[in-house]
Amino acid sequence: MEITLGEAQQKVDEWIKTVGVKYFGELTNLGILMEEVGELSRVMVRKYGEQSYKESDKKYELADEMADVLWVLLCLANQTGVDLTEALSKNFEKKTARDASRHKKNEKLK
């Protein structure tokens, strides 16, 4: 299923209001976002870093953890009135203007 960011925000909002009953508070969701980023980090450092897997790590999957982070970010965007499509578009413009030649000149990236 392919969906836009706007559609994702709408689908999350519909799910929260029907299945989830209501949004958690913004600060609670910020804490949940940090937890989810931590779980994503756990997978990344074991899969791509030097840490070895523990038995309890086997329940975590990279794609699922990324989706969990995105889910909570979509919730926070909905709660705070942020249109992520617009925000991402503006972010691309900002980064393109700021970094137009910066990375090309970085010897570390060559």
Q: Model-level pTM?
A: 0.89
Token pair, residue 95, equals: 């980064």
> Contact 90/13 with Cβ under 8 angstroms?
no
Torsion of Cα atoms, 28 then 84 then 20 then 18, to 10°: 150
Domain 5-109 annotated CATH 1.10.287.1080: yes
pLDDT tens string, the chain, 110 residues long: the values are 899 999 999 999 999 999 999 999 999 999 999 999 999 999 999 999 999 988 888 889 999 999 999 999 999 999 999 999 999 999 999 999 998 888 888 888 88
